[in-house]
Amino acid sequence: MAISVMEAAVVACVVAVGTVIPEGVAVATVTAAVARPMAGDPRNDAAHSIRTGPIFNSPKGGSAKRDAIADQIGRLIAGTPSGQTITIAMYHFASLDTAAQLVAANRRGVHVQVVLDHESTAYTAYRTLRRLGHNTHKRSWVVVCRRDRGCIGPSFNHNKFFLFSSTLGTRDVVVQTSANATDGARDTQWNDALIIEDTGVRAGYLRYFNDLAAQHATADYHRTVQSGPYRIDFFPWAKGDPISDALDKVSCAGGTRLRLSLGHFTWAPIAQRLWKLDDEGCRVQVVFDRIGRRAARRMTKPNGRNGGPEIRYLSENARVYAHSKYLLIDGGYQGKKQKVVFTGSNNYTAVGFHGHDEAMITIADGALEDQYAANFDTLFGHAHQVKGTGLASVPEAVLEQDDGRLTGSVE
């Protein structure tokens, strides 16, 4: 698959800036180059600058809040100059306006390269994206994963990320989001997006994207990239998961708080660890759209010394529902007090870790965690409390099939 000289240079820098870590090897932090504005593009002009950090939509607000993530994506697309590259991996792509923006960008000389799960071919927006062509040796194209599997993993391409070689005067912009490119992601779901400027992060994502486009099938892709403060995990993994690994490094001494927002939560090993941490004195709060029966049993287990985790559901039955996929740690982690954000496209399910094509970012950043915590508090306030203990305390409407095999709900 042909890429430009600029793209090749970015991929090459992963050795110096974003270190790719194979499974089982300790992760070492590498200082990343700071993304710099392009010459002639004034960064001090608010209308022509990048606002890094999180974006949260609100299906309960007006159009500005509802469309907050999609509007920012549109702004970044519009701000990409001729000769630069926009790279996208997406599960469901049904947004007609975003598709039209990408085709318009291609017409003005932007290289637009898209990898979609096969399910996206059912949408009208795909007909628009087909105008990009399918020849990966050209500057713009769209590739579709094979039916009933991911481009790499044995299930779906569940990714939701955008990469910009340069936009609005800034190089190496990455947008990792929980939102599909659909109207439903705006109108009926609570979602988050994290915007980053980092050469090594984009290089790591670009390497993964190229493997997606080439459809290098494996059930054990397991790659980790570390660039400065950012750790990025790419999936599927054959076994284990980074969230269980992280929870094993949490200490409840001194009052640690854990907040988790998910669409689907069926991975029992994480549920078991959360109950245990609550029992040890951490404050654990969880909001979800759907929960598996085994996970629900573990989360509502009786006789916890601190009453058990605080769990609430924000369900599709009420029209709007939780779809963000993040974990927040505020307190003892890896032997010191810190605030950490884990966010990406993974639901906490067996298929989310072991079957799908997915990506997850981890960063220790107090200000960022505070912003995510404020969003979590909003979601938690809208959600419905699960009262009591035992599986019977969880409404049947929010329970779903456990996914020990590679099936189950996605989104």
- Of 159, 138, 140, 139, residue with least CA distance to 211: 159
Apex 365 CA angle, 363 and 369, nearest 5: 95
Within 216-354, strands assigned E span 223-227, 230-235, 250-251, 257-265, 283-292, 310-313, 321-322, 326-333, 336-344
The residue whose two tokens read 């939780």 is 322
Is residue 229 reached through a cis peptide bond, with omega within 30 degrees of 0 on the bond before it? no
CA distance 61 to 7: 39
* Residue partners of 164: CB distance under 8 A and separation at least 6: 76, 80, 84, 85, 86, 87, 172, 173, 174, 175
- Of 221, 173, 223, 225, residue with least CA distance to 199: 173
30: three-class secondary structure by DSSP: coil
Reading phi first (left if > 0) and then psi (alpha if -120 to 50, else beta), residue 215 is in: left
φ and ψ of 15, to 5 deg: -70, -40
Q: Look at residue 410 in the predicted model and tell me its pLDDT.
A: 60
47: number of Cβ within 10 Å: 8
- Of 1, 197, 3, residue with least CA distance to 111: 3
φ and ψ of 259, to 5 deg: -125, 135
Q: Look at residue 11 in the predicted model and tell me its pLDDT.
A: 42
pLDDT averaged over 10-residue windows placed end to end, the chain, 411 residues? 42 42 37 36 54 95 94 97 98 98 98 98 98 97 96 97 97 98 96 98 98 96 97 97 98 96 96 98 97 96 94 84 97 98 97 97 98 98 94 93 56 69
pLDDT digits over 190-221, tens only? 999 999 999 999 999 999 999 999 999 999 99
CA distance 401 to 253: 35
User: Which pTM does this prediction carry?
Assistant: 0.89
